[in-house]
Amino acid sequence: MKLLIVDDSEEMRREIRSMVGDIASEIYECSSGPEAVTMYPVLHPDWVFMDIVMEPMDGLEATRLLISYFPEARIVIVTSYDDEYLRDAAHAAGASGYVMKDNLLELRRMLLAQTPDSGGQDRG
């Protein structure tokens, strides 16, 4: 499984990596929306974990762009904002999910549910 973590915080990218690193075979990182839009067609990740608040392009716009070019992209918004408007905007942009940064274990569960050899079980 190949992942792309998109967050302007190096610390948050590191936390996400530590939470899912044993599940993924490859993990790549970007620090901005434009970088993610550029790198997606090069990497073809199975999943993208996308922050919302980034400059110069926020994660919702980056998600909209990626989905418009690659409708099969699976993008999960990973954010600190538990806001109904943002959840709706993420869904409208084409995001596959919305996970709070204070509940990164949910990312792990999501990936394990998609891993055929795990049987949906958390081995770590």
Instruction: Encode pLDDT of 10-60 as tens digits.
Output: 999 999 999 999 999 999 999 999 999 999 999 999 999 999 999 999 999
Sign of CA dihedral 55, 59, 63, 66: positive
Sign of CA dihedral 43, 5, 32, 54: positive
As a whole number, mean pLDDT of residues 98-103 equals 96
As a whole number, mean pLDDT of residues 99-117 equals 89
User: CA 109: distance to chain centroid?
Assistant: 13
> Which domains does the chain carry?
2-118 (3.40.50.2300)
Instruction: Encode pLDDT of 56-91 as tens digits.
Output: 999 999 999 999 999 999 999 999 999 999 999 999
Which amino acid appears at position 28 of this protein? Y
The C-alpha atoms of residue 22 and residue 93 are separated, in whole angstroms, by: 29
